[in-house]
């Protein structure tokens, strides 16, 4: 596979002496450890409403590992993902296992697909500082490859959750965004940290520190900011919620106190009036009832002693209630004509009559074994304290099946002596459902349910109203365990009773605005970390590049300088030497002429001539060499075949050619775009060398010239069966002033050096290969391709 | 007048010719071993029955130059004092002089061309050599 091959070597360079399987085992464990560790960080990134986040940072870590080490470490990610999933929900059901497996497959595929895509679309390691490569890394590894894990991960959840269509897409989107965050923030840092295992494009330690420290710093600051902001947001949300609840509870208390005040008002009206008729009562109470919230009825319960009973009954009947009587509950709870008692407190007038007529005449002081004792207790208490007193939860006679409560207010009337005598009670009848209707509506607006409870003096709790049940009565017992529910409680005094009002938040406290803000924060942080990393990498890679360039240039300069020194030294010697010799030889010649030694004179002159001819050769080679440095020769389309033929015919008359058999094989169809004089220099030098250094002891000295094109290169191969170059000199054969056959031919020692320099100018390379007998020189020059056409 | 067998190591035929002429002028009966580079000189020394009294050594030569010759020569023939080496070169560079004279076997450093006076002064200073 394209990813493994060379990377295996890199891992090996780290722990060179370890067997390969051990290296990979160790790497897999390292990945496993990091993955699980970072999943803990993921929990920290949990964004309401409970979006799966534990796998996000880990996804970045895994991608970094696989990018660096190849698919050999994928098992580590797979197992780690399984582990993390099971750690979260350790209920190994069949579907849970399936789901976890699918998630793990998604993660593994994500990192593999991501790495393959990154490798495909980048030329170098992304951290070598090329912006395009960095962005490619982030793009293919992030948004693109994350699709895989988001789709498979969300599908895996369908095993254990039931999603609606929109929930499914929303979940997939969330997963995708999270994975993109994870990759963008954590994958580059991981890859750079691990890049010390690599050979290629390695950052120096100082550069790595320059990149890694700020990057990690940025990530930490981001994490800290994110956590803080989330806490802050939560706190804000809590504060806002509690304030809203406080306001509602305040309003509700006011409603209650108004209601009690209304009861008081009726009591004052009765106190101030004598012999009130039913109509008067009605006209006084109707506006009060209209302005009240939750009041079901307002009744006047006069104190009737038994001896007044008949006249009282007659009085009421005479006002349009012919069936009126004082009534009481029997053992079955049905209202019947009351037994004889000393004192009655019957409902004389009650408004609105239509809804309360079923209780008309009901003696609230009667002992009926149902609620009689409770009522009597409250009535007595209210009378003693001269204050309105509320009952605890009651079944309301007028509304069977519903709970309510009654506020009793004692009415005292002054006698002629100025003494206050108890004259009866005003009762306000309330239904919890009616009282609390508005409150429930308002609570629903802030996504809350309500529980209203009464708390007795000894701490006993009675449920009065529960908005969560259909009949608003008691729900299942476990629904009153509120430890994991966001809730707030308020205690409200109501005419001697204490109520406890509990608001329960439905679902998440954080509203969509807050969630959006958190997402923005997460996105902004990720973006910031990413940009910082990119900038750092580019700056560092740039400075590394410059540093490398300077190093390279310096060493090139140093080399050039050494070459120049050597050159100066050699030329000073080699230029001077023939002249010195020639001067001496010529003076010998003139001495010889003076002594008529013609033979000696001729000898001396011949030597001088040869010396000076060599000097001439040397000077022209030096001139060529000095020109090679200037590379501004234009490339032209050259017919290689013609060029070779020209070179052969040019050299044909030189020494040594008469014996040499020259053969050439050229398989080139087109002309080649090349710098002509460089190419000719190499060609002519190779051919003339073959002639100069032929073996005089063999019968058939030959040179073979082959020229062809292969894999985008032009090959020129010149082989001979000549003297060759001894193995011990082959490593220095292309250096300046190296000669290996002193007596065979007189060269300047610059020929091969010139060829190598020229090959360099052609962006090519010349190499030597010793044959069994003779030499093979091979020139390889890249051929430029222009608009699809090869030259 | 006993300088009778010398070796000239020089790749230039012209210089070999000059040396031969000058040496013959000094002593017509002198026998000269001519080597064209260091390697050839070593080969000749190894094959020779009688070692030359003086080896005139050039520095810049193909295959094996003077410095390389000295390095090998010293390890092979350091113990016996059969020959002395005299540098004969056109290089007057200090680094060449210093590098050559560092060898105990190297007696003198002559700049080309070789003259009769050079040989006389060599013999004057090393009386035992030319005795």
Share of chain B above pLDDT 90, in %: 43
Q: Is the pLDDT of residue A716 over 90?
A: yes
Please report residues of A whose CB lies closer than 8 A to that of B90.
573, 576-577, 580
**pLDDT for residue A639 is more than 70:** yes
Closest-CA distance, B65 to chain A, in angstroms, reads 10
Say which residue the tokens 């009773």 belong to.
A497
**Å from B25 to nearest chain A CA?**
12
Task: State how far residue A750 is from chain B, nearest Cα, in angstroms.
Answer: 12
* Residues from chain A contacting residue B100 (CB–CB below 8 Å): none
Smallest CA–CA separation between B60 and chain A, in Å? Answer: 8
Give, in order, the Cα–Cα distances in Å from A20 to each of A32, A63, A249, B124: 18, 21, 71, 76
pLDDT at A745: 62
In total, chain A counts a number of residues equal to: 791
Q: Which pLDDT score, from 0 to 100, does residue B44 have?
A: 93
Rounded CA separation A45/A232 (Å): 14
- The DSSP 8-state label assigned to residue A712 in this structure reads T
Q: How far is the alpha carbon of B45 from chain A, nearest alpha carbon, in Å?
A: 19
Question: What pLDDT score was predicted for residue A746?
Answer: 65
List of residues 6+ apart from A190 with CB closer than 8 A: A34, A60, A61, A63, A64, A65, A68
Closest in A585, A741, A742 to B18, CB measured: A585
What is the pLDDT, as a whole number, of residue A790?
47
B113 contact residues in A (CB cutoff 8 A): 580-581, 583-584
Model confidence at A199: pLDDT above 50: no
The Cα–Cα gap between A459 and A456 comes to 5
Highest mean pLDDT among A417-421, A430-434, B50-54: B50-54
| More confident call, A704 vs A403 | A704
Which residue in B18, B62, B93 is closest to A584 by CB distance? B18
Chain B residue numbers with beta carbons less than 8 Å from the beta carbon of A727 are none
Give the ranges where A292-408 is alpha helix by DSSP (H): 309-317, 353-356, 372-385
Supply the DSSP string of A19-74, one letter for each residue.
Answer: -HHHHHHHHHHHHHHHHHHHHHHHHHT--TTT---TTHHHHHHHHHHHHHH-GGGH
Instruction: Give A614 to chain B, closest Cα distance, Å.
Output: 10
pLDDT for the residue A277 = 87
B contacts of A573 (beta carbons < 8 Å): 59-60, 89-91
Percent of chain A whose pLDDT exceeds 70: 91
ipTM of predicted complex: 0.89
CB contact under 8 A, B90 and A611: no
Q: In the predicted model, what is the mean pLDDT of chain A? A: 82
Query: Are A610 and B13 a contacting pair at CB < 8 A?
Result: yes
State which residue of chain B sits closest to A750, comparing Cα positions.
B62
CB contact under 8 A, B11 and A742: yes
CA nearest B22 in A: which residue? A588
In whole numbers, what is the pLDDT of chain B averaged over residues? Answer: 87
List the one residue out of A603, A478, A347 whose CA is nearest residue B24.
Answer: A603
Give me the mean pLDDT over the A71-93 stretch: 82
Interface of B with A (CB under 8 A): 11-15, 17-18, 21, 36-37, 59-63, 89-91, 93, 112-113
Of A115-124, A362-371, A494-503, A748-757, the least confident: A362-371
Q: In this complex, do A604 and B17 lie within 8 Å of one another by their Cβ atoms?
A: yes
Buried b (16+ CB within 10 A) or exposed e, A388-405: bbbbbbbebbbbeebbbb
* Residue pLDDT, tens place only, A145-156: 888 888 888 888
A36, two tokens: 């699980």
Pairing of strands A448-455, A661-667: unpaired
Span A671-699, pLDDT tens digits: 888 888 889 889 988 998 888 888 888 88
Q: Give the β-pairing of B54-57 and B84-89.
A: parallel
Alpha carbons A653 and A538: distance in angstroms, whole number: 61
Strand-pair category, A661-667 with A497-505: unpaired
Q: Say what percent of chain A tops pLDDT 90.
A: 11
Closest CA to A396 of A348, A358, A436: A358
Q: Under an 8 A CB cutoff, do A740 and B62 touch? A: yes
Name the residue in chain A with its Cα closest to that of B94. A569
Q: Is the pLDDT of residue A12 over 60?
A: no
Query: Quick one: tokens of A173?
Result: 């989107």
Find, among A141, A7, A22, the residue nearest to A70 by Cα. A7
Subunit contact A578:B93, Cβ cutoff 8 A: no
Q: Which residue matches tokens 């750092």?
A: A536
Which chain B residues are Cβ-neighbours of A742 within 8 angstroms?
11, 36-37, 61-63
| Residue of B11, B12, B65 to mutate, testing the A interface (most A Cβ within 10 Å of its Cβ) | B12
Q: CA A683, CA A717: separation in Å to the nearest integer? A: 10
Kindly determine whether residue B60 and residue A573, on different chains, have CB atoms separated by under 8 Å. yes
d(CA A605, CA A607): 5
Question: Taking 90 as the threshold, does the pLDDT of residue A778 lie above it?
Answer: yes
């Amino acid at each position: 596979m394209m990813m493994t091959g060379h990377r295996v070597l890199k891992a090996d360079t780290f722990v060179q002496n370890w067997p390969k399987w051990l290296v990979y085992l160790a790497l897999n464990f390292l990945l496993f450890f990091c993955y699980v560790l970072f999943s803990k960080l993921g929990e920290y990134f949990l964004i309401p409403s409970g979006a799966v986040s534990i796998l996000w940072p880990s996804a970045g870590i895994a991608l970094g590992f696989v990018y660096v080490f190849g698919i050999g470490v994928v098992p580590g990610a797979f197992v780690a993902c399984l582990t993390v999933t099971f750690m979260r929900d350790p209920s190994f059901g069949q579907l849970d296992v399936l789901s976890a497996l699918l998630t793990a497959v998604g993660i593994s595929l994500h990192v593999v697909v991501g790495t393959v895509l990154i490798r495909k679309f980048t030329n170098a390691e992304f951290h070598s500082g090329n912006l395009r490569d960095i962005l490619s890394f982030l793009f293919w590894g992030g948004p693109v490859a994350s699709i895989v894990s988001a789709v498979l991960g969300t599908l895996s959840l369908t095993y254990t959750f039931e999603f609606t269509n929109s929930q499914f897409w929303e979940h997939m989107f969330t997963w995708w965004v999270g994975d993109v965050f994870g990759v963008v923030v954590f994958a580059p840092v991981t890859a750079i940290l691990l890049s010390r295992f690599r050979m290629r494009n390695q950052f120096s330690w100082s550069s790595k520190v320059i990149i890694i420290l700020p990057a990690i710093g940025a990530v930490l600051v981001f994490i800290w900011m994110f956590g803080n902001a989330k806490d802050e947001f939560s706190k804000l949300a809590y504060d806002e919620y509690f304030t809203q609840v406080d306001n509602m509870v305040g309003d509700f208390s006011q409603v209650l106190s108004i209601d009690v005040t209304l009861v008081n008002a009726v009591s004052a009206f009765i106190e101030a009036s004598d012999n009130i008729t039913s109509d008067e009562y009605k006209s006084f109470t109707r506006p009060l009832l209209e302005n009240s919230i939750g009041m079901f009825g307002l009744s006047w319960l006069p104190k009737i002693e038994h001896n007044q009973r008949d006249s009282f009954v007659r009085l009421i009947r005479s006002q349009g209630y012919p069936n009126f009587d004082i009534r009481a509950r029997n053992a079955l709870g049905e209202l019947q004509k009351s037994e004889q008692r000393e004192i009655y407190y019957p409902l004389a007038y009650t408004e609105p009559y239509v809804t309360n007529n079923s209780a008309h005449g009901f003696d609230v002081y009667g002992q009926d074994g149902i609620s009689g004792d409770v009522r009597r207790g409250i009535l007595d208490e209210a009378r003693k304290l001269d204050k309105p007193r509320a009952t605890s939860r009651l079944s309301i006679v007028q509304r069977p099946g519903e709970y309510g409560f009654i506020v009793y207010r004692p009415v005292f009337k002054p006698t002629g002596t100025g003494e206050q005598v108890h004259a009866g009670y005003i009762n306000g009848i309330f239904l919890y459902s009616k009282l609390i209707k508005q409150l429930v509506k308002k609570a629903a607006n802030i996504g809350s349910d309500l529980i209203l409870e009464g708390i007795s003096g000894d701490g006993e709790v009675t449920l009065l109203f529960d908005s969560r049940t259909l009949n608003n009565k008691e729900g299942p017992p476990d629904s009153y365990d509120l430890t994991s529910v966001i809730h707030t409680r308020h205690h409200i005094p109501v005419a001697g009773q204490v109520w406890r009002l509990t608001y329960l938040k439905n679902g998440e406290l954080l509203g969509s605005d807050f969630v959006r803000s958190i997402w923005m924060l997460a996105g902004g942080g990720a973006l910031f970390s990413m940009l910082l990393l990119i900038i750092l990498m580019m700056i560092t890679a740039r400075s590394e590049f410059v540093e490398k360039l300077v190093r390279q240039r310096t060493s090139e300069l140093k080399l050039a300088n050494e070459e120049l020194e050597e050159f100066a030294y050699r030329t000073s010697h080699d230029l001077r030497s023939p002249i010195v010799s020639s001067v001496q030889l010529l003076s010998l010649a003139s001495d010889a002429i003076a002594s008529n030694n013609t033979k000696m004179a001729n000898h001396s002159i011949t030597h001088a001539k040869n010396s000076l001819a060599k000097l001439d050769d040397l000077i022209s080679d030096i001139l060529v060499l000095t020109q090679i440095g200037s590379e501004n020769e234009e490339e032209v389309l050259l017919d290689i075949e013609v060029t070779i033929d020209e070179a052969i015919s040019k050299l044909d008359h030189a020494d040594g050619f008469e014996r040499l058999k020259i053969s050439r094989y050229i398989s080139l169809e087109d002309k080649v775009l090349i710098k002509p004089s460089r190419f000719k220099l190499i060609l002519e030098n190779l051919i003339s060398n073959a002639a100069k250094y032929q073996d005089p002891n063999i019968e058939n000295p030959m040179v073979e010239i082959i020229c062809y094109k292969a894999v985008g290169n032009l090959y020129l191969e010149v082989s001979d069966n000549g003297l060759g170059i001894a193995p011990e000199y082959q490593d220095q054969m292309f250096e300046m002033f190296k000669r290996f056959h002193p007596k065979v031919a007189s060269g300047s020692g610059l020929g091969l050096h010139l060829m190598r320099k020229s090959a360099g100018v052609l962006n090519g390379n010349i190499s030597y290969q010793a044959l069994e007998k003779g030499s093979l020189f091979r020139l390889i020059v890249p051929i430029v391709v222009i608009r699809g056409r090869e030259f | 007048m006993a300088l009778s067998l010398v070796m000239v190591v020089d790749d230039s035929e012209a210089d070999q010719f000059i040396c031969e002429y000058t040496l013959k002028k000094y002593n017509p009966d002198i026998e000269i071993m001519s080597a064209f580079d260091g390697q050839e000189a070593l080969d000749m020394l190894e094959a020779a029955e009688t070692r030359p009294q003086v080896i005139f050594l050039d520095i810049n030569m193909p295959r094996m130059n003077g410095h390389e010759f000295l390095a090998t020569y010293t390890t092979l023939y350091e113990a016996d004092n059969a020959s002395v080496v005299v540098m004969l070169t056109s290089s007057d560079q200090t680094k060449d002089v210093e590098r050559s004279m560092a060898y105990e076997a190297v007696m003198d450093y002559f700049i080309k061309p070789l003259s009769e006076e050079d040989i006389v002064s060599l013999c004057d200073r090393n009386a035992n050599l030319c005795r």
